[in-house]
A and B are shown apart, each in its own frame.
Chain A
């Protein structure tokens, strides 16, 4: 089932340059899609358009079968969660518990049920022991996990990660990635759109969309998209380490047959 259909989406901040310039793609239920591209390629603008923080061109976005417009916005937003880049800008509660409760309160979930829901989702992101901690005492990765718990408590069909790991250290990045894996395992129908510069992260998803100056220049499964490395160079994103290594080797006349893993490449080199 198609959760999101984007059809010829165009957006301009200044009515001169189209930051998003004729983008079309769809998101199937349960799929994990990464969007990569250079700074200013329109990635984050697309995220904001998808949840109606910016107004999309008419009839260009359909979410859950509804046209994304002012009338349907409430219904659509109730099914989409978004995690932003900066952990400090999205922590609204004074403690972890309050922060997870924020969305529930807005939905007028009865107080008696709230505790149970909060405990359940804090456990899912492995933050149970921090429920009464204040944000000052949490690391960036922990704050992002609290943000995820708050969203999961809303039971969304789609979660958008807008560079949610880019301000975290390697440990924090790993924690968030593991949380994403875990939540997909628990709910196979949950769809994810991840906007990222982290290629290792992008290549663990089901599909990769490469953006350049507001246009899609590549959209395929990770293993297929690597067959055309030119796309990456053109659009200002880096190739994964393994591909860069194989390309450079090929330039000095060493052809690698099996580039499945670094270990396999090394094996071939040492034959």
Chain B
């Protein structure tokens, strides 16, 4: 079942001088099995939005539907939220700061343990998830504080994967990673997506949207200004939404302006673009 937001408002510190309205009537749909990217400037409400997805924040008004769970202010039940959190895993920004256990495997096992699974079963899952994110076996008993930043990030992601969520929500998971680390985890999310996990991906990097997204949501000042597919978004001038034009798109635009005929529908990566250029020049 898709995720549906119906006219969601969210206000921080209501009835105080610090009152801040972060979401102002958000309605959107996140399709099952999609790779949905959410883009927009710092402070546009992206992070507030994703915290509604597993009930960390409850809408001030309006409602959120995630599978069979209906989240609404008058209808919040802790038991239900507990179950919902098994289905929707959220990886926060700079998730490596959340590592705390003595060993890497215990850190990954922490989530499922709290959902009442047995330690042996949990460790099996933890090892599988660490393998998925490419952490070698001789690391399992190491302290999570001894490894590099990129590795820590992957351990934190494994900790969420261990909950085996149907929907994986990621807040800027590639920020601060080197290009190789970035590519590694992007390809990992793509693979998980192909295996059926819905990916909700918050990013500032418009190039990621170009290469990976199936759906895209553009936010500005607490509102959804556009929900569409990347092909349609990039066919327009994206700078009107204060987004930058992806470098591949910029090249395509320049080539087309010079009269080169390109089949844009086939271009998702730089490799595709070069292939199309070679084709067009024949």
Contact = CB atoms under 8 A, between A and B. Distances in A.
Given A39-B150, A254-B278, A266 B178 contact: no
Interface string A165-195: 0111111100000000000000000000000
Nearest to A19: B148
Interface in B120-177: 146, 148-151, 175-177
Interface string A19-50: 00000000000000000011110000000000
A170 B259 CA distance: 31
A14 B204 CA distance: 36
Contacts of B244: 170
B228 interface: no
Contacts, number: 92
Contact of B43 (A85, A86, A139, A236): A139
A contact patch SS: loop
Given A172-B42, A237-B179, A40 B258 contact: no
A270 B180 CA distance: 32
B274 interface: yes
Given A39-B148, A40-B149, A236 B179 contact: yes
Nearest to A40: B148
Contact of B178 (A39, A254, A263): A39
A39 B149 contact: yes
Contacts of A267: 258
B111 interface: no
A254 B271 CA distance: 13
B254 A254 contact: no
Nearest to B176: A166
B41 interface: yes
B270 interface: yes
A92 interface: no
Contacts of A14: 146
A252 interface: yes
A38 B178 contact: yes
Contact of A197 (B41, B176, B251, B271): B176
Contact of A263 (B148, B254, B260, B281): B254
Kindly list the 6 A-B residue pairs having the minimum CB-CB distance in the complex, ordered from nearest: A238-B179, A40-B148, A39-B150, A270-B258, A266-B254, A236-B180
17 contacts: A39-B150, A39-B178, A39-B181, A40-B148, A85-B176, A166-B176, A168-B42, A170-B244, A171-B41, A197-B176, A197-B177, A236-B180, A237-B180, A252-B274, A252-B278, A267-B258, A270-B258
Interface of A: 14, 37-40, 85-86, 139-141, 163, 166-172, 197, 236-238, 241, 244-245, 248-249, 251-254, 262-263, 266-267, 269-270
Interface of B: 41-43, 94, 146, 148-151, 175-181, 204, 206, 242, 244, 247, 250-251, 254-255, 258-260, 270-271, 273-275, 277-278, 281
